[in-house]
Amino acid sequence: MGLLLSLIANTSGCHRKVYAELEQIDPIDRRSNLLMVGPINRDLADIKKGGTLTVIAPYNATTYFIYRGEPLGYEYELLQSFAKDQGLALKMVVVADPKSLFTILNSGEGDIAANRLVPTPENETDVSFTRALYRTAPVLVQQEEPPAKAGKGTEKMLAPGPADQTPEVDIQARLITKPSQLTGKTVTLPEQSPYNRTLVELSDEISGEIHVVEMGALQDEALAQKVAKGEIEFTVMQKNLADLKEAEFKNLKVRPIISKSHSVAWAVRKNSPELIQALNSWIEKKQNGSLFDKLYQKYFIDRRNYLERVESGFLTSTTGKLCAYDDLLKQHANDINWDWRLLASQAFQESRFKPDAHSWAGAAGLLQLMPATARQYGVKNSLDPADNLQGAVKFLKWLDGFWHERITNDVERLKFVLASYNAGAGHVQDAQRLTEKYGGNSQSWEDVSYWLLQESTQQYSIDPVVKFGFCRGLEPVNYVSHILERYDRYKQFVAQTSQAAQ
């Protein structure tokens, strides 16, 4: 037990470090401040004034994750739909320590907490929960076959670090088939798991002690892996998630159900009645349509696609990889002094990381080079990822030089470079001239992007200062916005050195 407690302390420390880097605020200080001042007062009307709905969530296999460069997740897609219906942009903030979700929520750094949340009497004193997104039951996860039978699930795991040297435990050959057989057994749970209370109540019911160990910052997915590897004997998790882990780790058995089903919901601050009313109304309305069923099928029932994600190597929060071309992106990003994750975001925007992608206009490859541009920068084969990238980066470098004297602020200049890559520098200069003519700041992308949008109208596309004529301005404006928003997400999920999340 001493070794196990030491492991818990070490893994918790590791996650606290990551959390501090992401949030830049000590969770203890945040909690102390919150106790003094109470939850921040911001409801739906204030959120709409700001235009952005902020959701705090950890990354996991069903709530929110990046796969092959794209944000996905059951809760993420539902929240995206809700935000759209409210006329809001959605911002996801990744929290490395799920135990702090409610504290962060009440501090005002987010508006909704999402994480397969189970309402309990303890946490209902801190937050308000929405109507159920779905219902599931707690189930025991145990090992039916030895680790050698686990399949690819354990083979793909990263090499353990110093804090992950858990010895294999002696797994009993006889499966638990009913809850009463847990008497005297040790069940490992995430810290502050809602199933701690469930197991205490079960102990009373069967008049036998169940030993519960809380494993630091490790969450359900990591504990399922430990059961499969023989490092712990039992854990308890939501049945729909456990069924996915049983498909991933072939030596696991998911049974028995140990208590009645319960709801899974989102949480908001107690002083946000408008927001929770809007969420509840939206959930009730959408549950009568196809959206909820479609997404539940996609993330909890479709085993084939789930296994494809977890075995692909590109489930970013687990592997630290965005795509098969990470090394090339890093190499060529250095040529223009870019963060490689920014270049990756542009590559996803252009081709979704597909090197054989073609556009209707004739652009091809990872960075969708037009034939004339490819020839100009020495690209012999646009469908070769390395060749395409080197040509695209030369073009980006030229654009950066073009705008260097015209836009002095580095952050603003990046937006002009990206817009020019998409629409051509001439159209962006036209928008600058319109901005100057009508009293705006031609050094500000916010002002210039407005006039770039106007270039799609007859009135302004024939303005005397517009030299390059009509431009579908919405396309480059969205292009810049999408790349930078995705870049922010990539920074949350993968380190600049591309080390996998620990």
On whether both 98 and 187 belong to a single domain, the answer is no
Phi-psi region of 47 (alpha: psi -120 to 50; beta: other; left: phi over 0): alpha
| Whether residue 458 sits in one domain with residue 363 | yes
The set of catalytic residues is: 350
Give the residue from 319, 354, 388 where a domain finishes: 319
CA dist 443 and 208 (Å) reads 72
- Tell me which residue of 275, 305, 308 sits closest to 130, measured CA to CA: 275
Task: For residues 436 and 470, state if they share a domain.
Answer: yes
Residue 500 located in a structural domain = no
Is there a contact between 221 and 61 (Cβ–Cβ < 8 Å)? Answer: yes
Whether 57 is in a domain gets the answer yes
Q: Is 498 within the bounds of a domain?
A: no
Residues 245 and 293 in one domain: no
CATH number for the domain including 407? 1.10.530.10
* Token digits of residue 227: 């059961």
What secondary structure, in 3-state letters, does 384-425 show?
A: CHHHHHHHHHHHHHHHHHHHHCCCCCHHHHHHHHHHHHHHCH
Asked if residue 173 and residue 90 are part of one domain, the reply reads no
Q: Does 199 lie in the same domain as 268?
A: no
In whole angstroms, give the CA distance from residue 409 to residue 413.
6
Which pLDDT belongs to residue 266? 98
For residue 458, being part of any structural domain is answered with yes
Domain that holds residue 460: 326-493
The tally of domains found in the chain comes to 3
**Do 227 and 306 have their domain in common?**
no
Q: What angle do CA 251, 254, 256 make, to 5 degrees?
A: 140
pTM: 0.83
How far is the CA of 227 from the CAs of 224, 324, 485, 499, in angstroms? 5, 30, 37, 25
Residue 274's pLDDT is 98
Q: What does the pLDDT read at residue 199?
A: 96
In this structure, are 129 and 146 located in the same domain?
no
pLDDT of residue 225: 95
Q: What is the mean pLDDT of each run of 10 residues along the chain (502 residues)?
A: 30 30 41 58 96 95 93 97 97 90 96 97 94 98 91 51 49 80 96 94 93 89 95 97 97 96 98 98 96 98 94 86 95 95 97 95 96 96 97 98 96 98 97 97 97 96 96 96 94 67 32
Is residue 464 in a domain?
A: yes
For residue 267, give every residue at least 6 positions away whose Cβ sits within 8 Å of its Cβ, in sequence order, or none: 101, 102, 105, 112, 113, 114, 117, 123, 127, 128, 129, 130
- Residue 89 lies inside a defined structural domain of this protein: yes
